[in-house]
Amino acid sequence: MRLWQYIYKPVLKNFSSLEKESIQDVWVSPAKRIKSLVNETNFSFLGSQENYIELGWKSKTKEILWLYNLHYFDYLNSHDSNQRKPFHKDIISHWIENNNDLSGIGFHPYPTSLRIVNWIKWDLSTNQATEDMIASISKQSRWLSKNIEWHILGNHLFTNAKALIFAGIYLKGPEAEIWFKKGIKIVKKEINNQILQDGGNFELSPMYHSIFYEDILDLINIFRTYPKKATHEMNNSLEICAKKMGFWLDTMLHPDDEISFFNDAAFNIAPSPAELKKYTHRLGLKSLQSKKRVDFNYIHLADSGYIKINSTDLSAILDCAKIGPDHLPSHAHADTLSFELSLFQKRLIVNGGTSKYGDDYKRNLERSTSSHSTVEINNRSSSKVWGGFRVANRAYPFDLQINESKNSIFVGCSHNGYSNLRNKLIHRREWDFKINSFKVKDIIFGKYNNAISRFIIHPDWKIKLVSNHLAEISLSPDKIINFESENIITKLSFTKFSPEFGKSYNANTIEIKIPRKENQVSFTWQPIKK
């Protein structure tokens, strides 16, 4: 398909502008993104600030992802965007003047799709679209309809379809109707493909789940704004989907109400969970309710493979999931049987996160097993991640056990990610949670040269090695966790912790070599007095 697109290169023969459709109902304010338009000419993305006029829309010197963000136009719908409205028209006009030839990085189908939607959302919020802007939306939509990303699928294909629906509703005429029908056909199919029964997005990334969730909410919004275009079936399907996705996202949050770091997740790319929750409420939708919190409870997202543990002081998310869909593991990390945990409402154990895209050493390191709170065997990753977005041999979890009693929850799971090695190794991890403690036991079946269990500690916490088997992890004088290992704590090292793109910090990491078949560590603490 990529070869077909390269050779065929669809061109446009018709450059005529379509007319706007009349709005039939009220457009609800959408989710807000982080502020990226600093002033009249300067943008800040991925930790780097540039003057867009001096840089140029088709710069050859700036990294691609930064330029993509510039072409997305997410900043039209950001926090405090009202204060920068006077700049918006100028930026849109400048883009139109410098991107009229349908070439360059801005005319990749993905940024084109996002830009179409963001321009339409901006006009529905401001009613300030110019004739040139409407003509450009017409041209971009016409181009997109001939350049759909069938070769990539996943969130790219869904985003293409969403843009065609937006354009097909916002504009009127036979051509717009064709775009609309094409988008609807794709969306109907991809909702079934990409949303699991438990509400999770099939890429198993809280960040990409949030992006998809916003897409669903936006579609609900535009169908309500133009109710003549909506069917009862479509409205019902989208609302059911939104409820399930809201529940899934809520389950995958830490007590700070932010996402966990599994599979290319990072802060400030998707709208925050708080923003998505506000958007949901503005649309009058209610999320599915989770269990009432008691001393102990768990939520098993069975189709996704994640397990959430809640107790009075503790919140943990266990990764007993596949790395993602077999046909599309682009955002997968080799993180099987890793976990993240908050204690006293603060993140304690984390995964390494994601600081960049591309194909280089740092990107591949961030996706490797060594950058996650799990076990690495024979200096290999449990799934072979390479090429920036590719995965070869994949770990599959199996033999999941969950046992719950009044004051404890036990979870055990195995994976076969190392079974391709000579001795067909199996890694099994067991978590045992109690009131003021939990244990993590790693068992390795088969002969191996070396195995390292890593626990990446959030930078907010301090670590002191008390003995070869004992470490103290402290947040404050009254918040101290004793970390005790059966085997010797080999060393305290640093792992790069990257909670958002372009930002990395040193995080203390406890490393334990497992010389025998197994190792057990225990975390104990004194409860905080209420």
What are the pLDDT digits (tens) for 189-225? 999 999 999 999 999 999 999 999 999 999 999 999 9
**119 token code pair:** 């321009």
What average pLDDT is seen over the chain? 91
Token look-up 């007590």 returns: 255
Label residue 424 by pLDDT band (50, 70, 90): confident
Q: At residue 262, what is the residue type? A: F
The DSSP symbol for 83 reads G
**239 token code pair:** 């609302």
Identify the burial level of 21 via C-beta atoms within 10 angstroms of its C-beta, where 0-12 means exposed, 13-18 middle and 19 or more buried. middle
Instruction: Indicate if the pLDDT at residue 131 is higher than 90.
Output: yes
Q: What angle do CA 495, 500, 501 make, to 5 degrees?
A: 100
Label residue 529 by pLDDT band (50, 70, 90): low
Give the residue from 237, 144, 240, 148 showing the smallest Cα distance to 186: 148
**176 token code pair:** 């717009």
SS3 content of the chain, % helix, strand, coil (to 5): 35, 30, 40
**93 token code pair:** 């006009």
Number of separate helices (H) and strands (E) present in the chain: 12, 23
The pLDDT of 105-119, averaged and rounded, is 95
Q: Report which of residues 12 and 479 the model is more confident about.
A: 479
**Least-confidence region, from 12-26, 223-237, 297-311:** 12-26
- Beta-bridged to residue 401, according to DSSP, are 412
The structural domains of the chain, ordered by start, are: 296-525 (2.70.98.70)
The torsion angles phi and psi of 10, rounded to 5 degrees, stand at -55, 135
Sign of the C-alpha dihedral computed for residues 186, 192, 195 and 199 taken in this order? positive
Check residue 230 and give its pLDDT: 85
